[in-house]
Amino acid sequence: MGERVITYGEALREGQAECLRADPDTYLIGLGVPGPTGIFGTTKGLVDEFGPDRVLDMPSSEGGMSGIALGTSICGLRPIIVHMRVDFAVLSMETLVNQAAKWHYMYGGKMRAPLTVRMIIGRGWGQGPQHSQSLQAWFAHVPGLKVVMPATAKDAKGMLISAVEDDAPVILFEHRWLYGVTGEVDEGYTKEPLDGARVLRTGRDVTLAGYSYMALESLRAAQLLEQVGVDAEVIDLRSLTPIDTATLGASVGKTGHFVVSDTGHAAYGAVSEVASAVVERNFADLKRAPVRIGLPDVPTPTTPALADHFYPGPREIAQQVLDLLGSDRQLPPEAEDPRPWKDVPDMSFTGPY
Amino acid sequence: MAGSMDQQTPDTQPRPVVTVLDSTHRAEADVRIAMYREALRIRLVEDEIVARYGEQEMRCPTHMCIGQEAPPVGVSAHLQPQDYVFSAHRSHGHYLAKGGDLKAMIAELYGRATGCASGKGGSQHLIDMDAGFLGSAPILASTISVGVGAAWAARRRGEDRVVAIYFGDGATEEGAFHEALNFAGVNRLPVVFVCENNLYSVHSQLDMRQPAHRTVKEIGPVHGVEALSGDGNDIDEVWRLGRYAVERARSGANPVLLEFFTYRWKEHCGPLEDGHLGYRSEEEIESWRKRCPVTTYAQRLSEEQVLGDEAAQAMRAEIDAEVAQAFEFAKSSPFPELAELDRDVFPGRGAI
């Protein structure tokens, strides 16, 4: 077991197939879901196995269709609704925030809305102001919604299956640049918990916690830091609701230094909430103030000339760590990068999306 | 416009024959008596809320449906127990006409643990799953798509279930309304959309909000939804159009939009009159009061010798007693325990 390696995107596809296979009440819907490209491949071919009644396209009505999916969920179905961009899902905010989040509580526990919403964060190749936002903090702010951000292929499959099984509305934020990342994933109906952070790398000098793609960037930062004698612990935060304060506390208790990174804006963002949680619980353990790393307070620029400076990466994280530790060591020189711009995860990515 | 008979169909495909009855057609006497009883019951419940609201024990926004009793009564007369109803903020009549528990509704307004939503919803979030009243919410048009989803679920599972969704004229200006109609039209879902057009969205007049020469009814066919309109203060007319719409939806032919012209007597939210605000004239309010759906129906049933004075008085006494009991139940019920504050944010696994 455990030797099978597939991509994050394939894991998502497998997870959805497992859910559709396991429960006839589960269906998958979204603009382009049964289409030829299948949501960046994550739904490709599912319509062939499960048919057009269970793998469906929909009108261009993100708001209305979210309400319709909610209506089916309170009647016992288990919809998975996919938004190819988080930015499109903004049109469904009313349904998710006012309705889905509250139908269990405001009807005195009599109603359940088992809704799974996949929201995809775009990045690079000029996705720009309206195709690349990371708005997870908006949803995590609303009681009644569960918000998770799988960073590994195993979690992509396992957390998706757990989301569909869960009786609450669950929103999965998936970062496009994770779709090609590979990892060990078991076959079959394999679940991973929706809550709890995971230690990806143990270390003693500093705790680097990150959500989604930034968990991977934190791992890369840890590799850079290792070259200058800093031993970083890396934590994949996985869930915004709740934040795993126990795992964070244990790590910070050991390292005394805390850096948290997220794919969204830092201001009023997930990093602010995580940093507050750590400060509140582990103030005495901290040797320095924690550091938040996120996007600056500007919309995403389209041109790579600006976008390349918009996203913090491993070097920025590592430099922040050196500053935090008061170290004057120099990071190793940047390796030769075959990419003309940093707007692609690797050379295989050639746009146009 | 009121009472208009013309129907518009979205296409010419053959489908089950259901005809609109002519305007002289009436329900059987027992059905008419039952409808009158329900309309009177809704009115007396609302009157009692109005009378007691000033005591400041019903501490939630409450939208009275006095003057708008005919649509829920005439539509629900055709609904089966397995059918579903969704509503918006002015929902008391819709809830009661579908069989929603009166005691649980009043207790909900009083914020008690015995309320239909355990006190967590209030007047704007009534629910009675057993009666098929699946929810109400005050965000305009929001429950329309949820109701369409419920109809789609019924279709997917092969269940015989019609979904009636009530909303006002204001909701038809929301994008969500058009999105929901479009999906219902594409999939020919068993939905009856019931628009209670009372001419005002809070204090904003209809003619400032919608084109003068386009009725709400006309929106239906462009989305594949057959549409009819009629006098929303005439229980017999609502029953007649409701019969057509519910049968049409149940037969799988197509969804139907009903536009009923009616009028809210009280202020938008609360128990008071609001003529002094000046956004509508006293003459207009008075003209609609004269066309009271409850008293005009009582008069008609009396004239047509369907319901005698003695029976009407006995009926009223019965309802008065039921209403008094409901308020007594609510006021003597406990408030929710403090532990309820954190309960049911997320559902646990297992049976509800």
Q: Six-digit token pair at A247?
A: 């795992």
Collapsed DSSP state (helix, strand, coil) of residue A40: coil
pLDDT of residue B348: 84
Distance CA A112, CA B345 (A): 11
Distance CA A148, CA A162 (A): 11
pLDDT in tens, A16-64: 999 999 999 999 999 999 999 999 999 999 999 999 999 999 999 999 9
- Statement to judge: residues A29 and A154 lie in one domain: yes
- Statement to judge: residues A296 and A272 lie in one domain: yes
DSSP label of A95: I
Q: Is the pLDDT of residue B278 over 80?
A: yes
CB proximity B151 to A under 8 Å:
yes
DSSP label of B125: G
Q: Residue A71's domain spans which residues?
A: 5-184
Q: In 3D, which of B82, B214, B90 has the Cα closest to residue B154?
A: B82
- The CATH number linked to A301 is 3.40.50.920
Q: How many beta carbons lie within 10 A of that of residue A337, not counting itself?
A: 9
Pairwise CB contact (< 8 Å): A108 & B183: no
Number of domains forming the structure of chain A: 2
pLDDT of residue B5: 43
pLDDT in tens, B44-56: 999 999 999 999 9
Number of helical (H) and strand (E) elements in chain B, helices listed first: 12, 8
Chain B hits for A112, Cβ within 8 Å? 347, 352
ipTM: 0.95
Q: Is the pLDDT of residue B350 over 50?
A: no
Domain boundary among the residues A160, A184, A208 is at A184
- Statement to judge: residues A179 and A224 lie in one domain: no
Q: Is the pLDDT of residue B258 over 90?
A: yes
Distance CA A234, CA A226 (A): 12
Q: Is the pLDDT of residue B341 over 70?
A: yes
pLDDT in tens, A148-176: 999 999 999 999 999 999 999 999 999 99
pLDDT of residue B11: 53
Instruction: Assess if residue B18 is contained within a domain.
Output: no
Measure CB to CB from residue A110 to each of B127, B145, B147 and give the nearest one. B127
Q: Which parts of chain A register pLDDT below 50?
A: none
pLDDT in tens, B292-328: 999 999 999 999 999 999 999 999 999 999 999 999 9
The amino acid sitting at B254 is N
Distance CA B176, CA A110 (A): 25
- Statement to judge: residues A205 and A176 lie in one domain: no
Domain boundary among the residues A125, A159, A184 is at A184
Q: Six-digit token pair at B317?
A: 């006494």
The amino acid sitting at A286 is L
Taking one residue from A and the other from B, the number of pairs with CB-CB distance under 8 angstroms is 141
- Statement to judge: residues A222 and A122 lie in one domain: no
pLDDT of residue A2: 52
pLDDT of residue B351: 40
Residues of chain A with a CB closer than 8 angstroms to some CB in chain B: 27, 53, 58-59, 61, 63-77, 94-95, 98-99, 103-112, 143-144, 146, 167-168
DSSP conformation letters of A268-300: TSHHHHHHHHHHHHHGGG-SS--EEEEE-SSPP
Q: What percent of chain B shows pLDDT beyond 90?
A: 91
Q: Six-digit token pair at A50?
A: 């499960």
Phi/psi for A129 (5° steps) reads: -65, -25
Measure CB to CB from residue A94 to each of B139, B182, B343 and give the nearest one. B139
Q: Is the pLDDT of residue B9 over 90?
A: no
Edge-to-edge order in the sheet of strand B256-261: B133-136, B84-87, B163-168, B191-197, B256-261, B226-231
- Statement to judge: residues A204 and A132 lie in one domain: no
Distances (CA, A) of B26 to B235, B302, B304: 10, 15, 11
Q: In 3D, which of B247, B215, B219 has the Cα closest to residue B230?
A: B215
Report the first-to-last Cα separation within chain B, whole angstroms: 47
8 Å CB contact between A172 and A150: yes
- Statement to judge: residues A213 and A163 lie in one domain: no
pLDDT of residue A148: 98
- Statement to judge: residues A164 and A298 lie in one domain: no
Instruction: Assess if residue A346 is contained within a domain.
Output: no
B198 Cβ contact partners less than 8 Å away, ≥ 6 residues apart: B67, B68, B168, B169, B262, B263, B264
Best A68, A96, A142 residue to mutate vs chain B (most B CBs within 10 Å):
A68
- The CATH number linked to A12 is 3.40.50.970
- Statement to judge: residues A172 and A287 lie in one domain: no
Instruction: Specify which residues B261 forms β-bridges with.
Output: B197, B231
Q: What percent of chain B shows pLDDT beyond 70?
A: 94
Best B86, B193, B344, B349 residue to mutate vs chain A (most A CBs within 10 Å):
B344
Q: Is the pLDDT of residue B4 over 70?
A: no
Q: Six-digit token pair at B325?
A: 């009991």
- The CATH number linked to B175 is 3.40.50.970
Q: Six-digit token pair at B40?
A: 């009177």
Active site residue A62: yes
Q: Is the pLDDT of residue B130 over 70?
A: yes
Number of domains forming the structure of chain B: 1
8 Å CB contact between B144 and B177: yes
- Burial status of residue B134 (CB atoms within 10 A of its CB: 0-12, 13-18, 19 or more): buried
Least confident interval from A132-136, A333-337, B222-226, B334-338:
A333-337
Measure CB to CB from residue B142 to each of A59, A67, A112 and give the nearest one. A67
Q: Six-digit token pair at B80?
A: 């089966």
DSSP label of B336: P
pLDDT band at B16 (very low <50, low <70, confident <90, very high): low
8 Å CB contact between A220 and A189: no
Q: pTM of the prediction?
A: 0.95
Chain A hits for B134, Cβ within 8 Å? 74, 111
pLDDT of residue B18: 79
Q: Residue B163's domain spans which residues?
A: 29-269+278-333
Domain boundary among the residues A184, A211, A233 is at A184
pLDDT of residue A335: 83
Distance CA A105, CA A111 (A): 8
What's the rounded mean pLDDT across residues B95-105?
A: 98
8 Å CB contact between B149 and B161: no
pLDDT in tens, B167-195: 999 999 999 999 999 999 999 999 999 99
The overall average pLDDT reported for chain B is: 94
